[in-house]
Amino acid sequence: MRDREQYVRPPLVAAEPPSAFVRRWRYRLVVGLLMLVAVLALVWVFLRYSGVTGGEDPGLIGTLAPLMTGASPAP
């Protein structure tokens, strides 16, 4: 076991950290993009599984029409 080589970490290279302005805007951009992706995913899931056909008829008019005209609802 003594003959094995030991890992030697390379020396750290000093680099100036990015400015607070750049970090702040990079954070805002990443969070904004993640929120946009989340909203688009929710819209896709809603349209995929809610039964809405293109969004032009949410299904309320057919249900509420008999009530608005005074007719009895269809069975």
Residue type, 12: L
Classify residue 64: in a domain, yes or no: yes
The Cα–Cα gap between 14 and 49 comes to 53
Classify residue 12: in a domain, yes or no: no
Residue type, 24: R
The boundaries of the domain holding residue 58 are: 20-69
Classify residue 31: in a domain, yes or no: yes
Residue type, 47: L
The Cα–Cα gap between 47 and 43 comes to 6
Spell out the per-residue pLDDT of the chain, length 75, in tens. 566 788 888 878 877 778 999 999 999 999 999 999 999 999 888 878 877 665 555 555 555 555 656 655 555
Name the 3-class secondary structure at 18: coil
| Cα distances (angstroms) measured from residue 8 to each of 11, 12, 37, 67 | 9, 12, 42, 80
